[in-house]
Amino acid sequence: MGGKDTEAVAAHIEKATNVTDDAAERGRLIQEQERQLSLWATVKLHPRAVLACSVAFAAGAMFGYDQISNGSTIAMPAFMMYYGDHNESGLYLPSIWTSLWTSMTSLLQAVGAICVGMISDRFGRKWPGVMAGILSIVGTVVLYYAKSRGALLAGKMVCGLALGAGMAIGTTYASEVAPLKLRVPIQTILVVFIVFMQGLAMGIVRIFVPNTDEQAFRNVFAIQWAVGGIFAVTCLFAPESPVYLINSGRVDAAEKVMKKLYSSKFSIDDRLAYLVKTISEEQEQQRISAGSYLDCLRGSNLKRTLTVMFLYSTANLGGAAFLSQSIYFLLTLGLPSVHIFDISIGGFALAIIVILLTGFIGKFLSRRRMLLMGCLINLAFLVVIGCLYYASGMGPSWAIAVLMNILISIQTSLMQAVGWPIAAEISSYRLRVKSLSIGVFAQTLSTWVMTFTVPYMYNVDSGDLGARTAFPFAGITVLLVIGAYFLVPDTTGLSTEEIDRLYEDKVSPRRFSSFVTHDVPRVAE
């Protein structure tokens, strides 16, 4: 960052921090009071803030639909007839193209997430989000009209760029505008939106499976125009993030936005003062005026960044790339395509139910414990799936199909739905957009590596491991259990200021749950 840029940001922060300590303290007490409200009471108190979080839900819908349309269309008979090759066993897709179609989408998602982190610091969250939605529409046009394998790859890459940017913007925006009490539920609902759109996309693909005309898979692509457009429109009508406005020195604009988002029952001026004070303290702790990606790797932020990367990558490293290609993989086992899609649709419906049950269980178990439990269950399932390779007959193949779809539910609910909210909470305000962009980058980079590798592991023209493909992921899951135990904290009920202090004091993440906040009088609901 140049000297002039640093001086400009320093001037912004100096202007933003022109608030009284008394007002900031009253703002802290407001947050402490709201911490004790029920979820429903918080929703009723701040309905417009909840509505603004639809930016994240729209991003999740776009991401979820593309994941399935990108991964499942390759198993459609019409797609295989148009882009596939023949051998003595029948139609198949060359491993190199299967790998490129799935992995390059993920690689460009990583690029999009990193680029939007820098862009959104300069231009905010709103307009980069709009551009990500428009870019998704452009990529869909290329997909729809693609005649060659290379053109199809180009369309998938453009869509991947849009998805990475959209998810980084959506998760960051929601973490910045959501009331403290709702941050975790909103991140959980985001995962529900992703899974719902995955199930919807799977149902749409299932409708077109019997149709062997090329228009069948092109119709699946065409629907992406709608989800990309919805995200663009949602960002267009959403207010700008108050955190971005404060960081850019536009405190008056931040105040206007906060008056739109939050209830006037408590002082907006005090709430603003506390937010400004928190951001300015983060600046002082780092002794620099503006956050950069390098700052995410300095001091206590290094552990926070590594934890964010870990949480965003657990599912991929634990076999999600293998599970995401389950339809095509199960075709190689000789199972009928229509029934494979039926099982997959049921798997996504089960995932939504399990996620909602996880929210209920979360009242009794910490998110840290649920993540550890999810990793252990994941390990057990992968070992069983791998062992079924050695059983003969079609029965084991059907068992593999069922287990893989149940495991999708477990990974989604006990790894993603539990881990992503923690990742959104542990980064500082000043570095949040960059930290979460790095998290999305790690998620998409791990997806790229795994999705490129997996087809070479199980495909008939390569490794031909079959169900034994689960064994390497079982070994990686052992490492995930160790990482989750030592890296992941329980942040339930902790504010960003408190999390900042715990990391600065070098408190072990395993002991965050023993942190006790200052007691404040309980407010009437």
Highest mean pLDDT among 41-55, 407-421, 507-521: 41-55
Give me the pLDDT at residue 285, please: 59
Highest mean pLDDT out of 14-18, 156-160, 345-349, 518-522: 156-160
Local confidence band at 165 (pLDDT 50, 70, 90 cut-offs): very high
Whether 280 shows a pLDDT value over 80: the answer reads no
- Domains of the chain, by residue range, sit at 53-238+292-429+431-512
Q: Residue 362: pLDDT above 80?
A: no
| Residue 91, beta-bridge partner list | 86
Mean pLDDT of 441-448: 81
- Structure confidence at residue 340 (pLDDT): 82
**What CATH architecture applies to the domain 53-238+292-429+431-512?**
Up-down Bundle (1.20)
233: confidence class by pLDDT, cuts 50, 70, 90: very high
**CA–CA separation, 320 and 313 (whole Å):** 10
Q: What band does 20 get if pLDDT is binned at 50, 70 and 90?
A: low
**Among the listed ranges 51-60, 124-133, 287-296, 409-418, which one has the minimum average pLDDT value?**
287-296
Please, what is the average pLDDT of the chain?
82
102-123 residue pLDDT tens = 778 878 887 888 888 889 888 9
Largest distance between two CA atoms of the chain: 79
| Paired tokens of 97 | 């193209």
Report the pLDDT value the prediction gives residue 306, as an integer from 0 to 100: 92
- The answer, yes or no, to whether residue 232 has pLDDT greater than 50, is yes
- Specify whether the CB–CB gap between 186 and 415 falls below 8 A: no
pLDDT value of position 283: 63
pLDDT at 291: 59
pLDDT digits (tens, 9 = 90+) for 50-96: 999 999 999 999 998 988 887 788 878 888 888 877 766 667 777 78
pTM here? 0.69
CA dihedral 295, 298, 299, 303 (to 10 degrees): 100
pLDDT at 3 over 70: no
pLDDT above 50 for 426:
yes
- Span 328-355, mean pLDDT? 81
Angle between helices 268-286 and 3-16 (to 10 degrees): 140
CA distances from residue 182 to 36, 39, 51, 293, 354 in whole angstroms, order as listed? 12, 7, 12, 28, 20
Least confident of 3-7, 150-154, 339-343: 3-7
CA-based angle 197:64:437, to the nearest 5? 145
Greater pLDDT, 84 or 40? 40
Q: Spell out the residues 6+ positions from residue 273 whose beta carbon is closer than 8 angstroms to its own.
A: 19, 20, 23, 24, 26, 27
Q: Which of 42-51, 287-296, 307-316, 325-334 has the lowest mean pLDDT?
A: 287-296
